[in-house]
Amino acid sequence: MSKANHGKRYSEEFKRQVVDLHHTGIPVLQLVQDYGVSNGTIYKWLKEYQVIESPDGNLMTVKELERLKKENRELRLENEIPKKGRRHIRAKGVKDHCCFVAEQCAEYGVSRLCRVLGLAKSSYYASKYLTARNRKDKEESIKDDILRIWQESKKRYGAPKIHKKLASEGVSISERTVSRYMSELGIHSIIVKKYRPHSGKTAVVERDNLLAGDFTTTGICEKWCTDITYIHTLKDGWTYLASVLDLHSRKIVGYAYARTMTAELAIQAVKNALTGIQIPQPIILHSDLGTQYTSDQFRCFAASKRLIQSFSGKGNPYHNAPMESFHSILKREEVHQHHYFDFETARREIFKYIEGWYNRKRIHSAIGYKTPQQAHQLSS
């Protein structure tokens, strides 16, 4: 038996002649020997050229039927393309056609789409490269904006606030994409361990909690929170900051800074908050049960200024959550990022943070991503 000639291409006439010879009674083995075609190839031809009846009653070979099915399928797909691409085709612009090809190529294939639209494939691929390059340029531009906003916040902002700042500048991008770009840039917001409250064993007299966790307001000068926090300096040791926060605008309306933690410090912070304002109605002033706020001195001062005191439960910082949150932010974004040499150095930096950053520049999620100063002015 002669060796089959693998890889050889045969004409349609040659194939039909071999099939016809087999139909005259010549066995496949003999055809293999006479014409150098493998028996598998001959059986394949016999199947392709087998005469069958088509759906419309005509006689044709299997191969002809498959060809007709393929042609019908191509025509159906090509008829669908103008319907889906009516807007792009009507525009008659290469850019519009390329956009349509990019959208539909997974379903119809680039070659078919380009043929129907009369678009050169080379034009499509050139446009695709340009689009990818423009997308890359846009990504780099947005990353530059993210880095700029992050640096302007002194590395304090995370993805949510950067996302809001970008939106305010007209940049449309999802928060998830901002987070991904920040990861690629190797930047993140300042992070510190969360506070875990613990209760002491000292007996404390419980007092009225007028807020009862309700931090909602209808305007400024309605509900205030106050508290004292510790700040360390290298030369002067521990120092103390008392702050007063307006629950409506989340603005620090008053604060005082001193070397000792006394009732006078707490009173001075509230005095500073009251400077230059008219009080149309009594203000609820909420604090913890610290001795500075429960002292007779502070209580008398509060009563003289039409301030109604409200107190958190013992060992429960969540009753004064907005104030605790501010001091946590202050520590995370400012205090823990520096080693203050002395009291005066710390005083200057705290002033810059509260007056220059927190009140006037730092957007706040609780007030619709406005700054406290903006929220305060809108309610004035």
What confidence tens digit (pLDDT) does each residue in 196-213 have? 545 555 556 778 899 998
What confidence tens digit (pLDDT) does each residue in 215-242 have? 999 999 999 999 999 999 999 999 999 9
pLDDT at residue 354 tops 80: yes
Q: What is residue 249's predicted lDDT score, i.e. its pLDDT? A: 96
Mean pLDDT over residues 164-173, rounded? 89
What confidence tens digit (pLDDT) does each residue in 67-118 have? 776 666 666 665 665 555 545 454 556 777 777 777 777 777 788 778 777 7
Q: What is residue 119's predicted lDDT score, i.e. its pLDDT? A: 78
- What residue ranges do the domains of the chain occupy? 65-119, 126-185, 223-379
Nearest alpha-carbon partner for 331 in 309, 310, 354, 315: 354
Q: What are the C-alpha distances in Å from 197 to residues 1, 168, 315?
A: 93, 37, 7
pLDDT at residue 304 tops 60: yes
- Residue 367 banded pLDDT, cuts 50, 70, 90: very high
Check: CB of residue 219 under 8 Å from CB of residue 379: yes
Q: Which CATH class is domain 223-379?
A: alpha beta
DSSP 245-262: EETTT--EEEEEEESS--
- H/E stretch holding 229 reads strand 223-233
pLDDT at residue 368 tops 50: yes
Percent helix, strand, coil in the chain (nearest 5)? 55, 10, 35
pLDDT at residue 130 tops 80: no
Q: What is residue 105's predicted lDDT score, i.e. its pLDDT? A: 77
Distance of CA 186 to the CA centre of its chain: 16
What confidence tens digit (pLDDT) does each residue in 237-259 have? 999 999 999 999 999 999 999 99
pLDDT at residue 191 tops 90: no
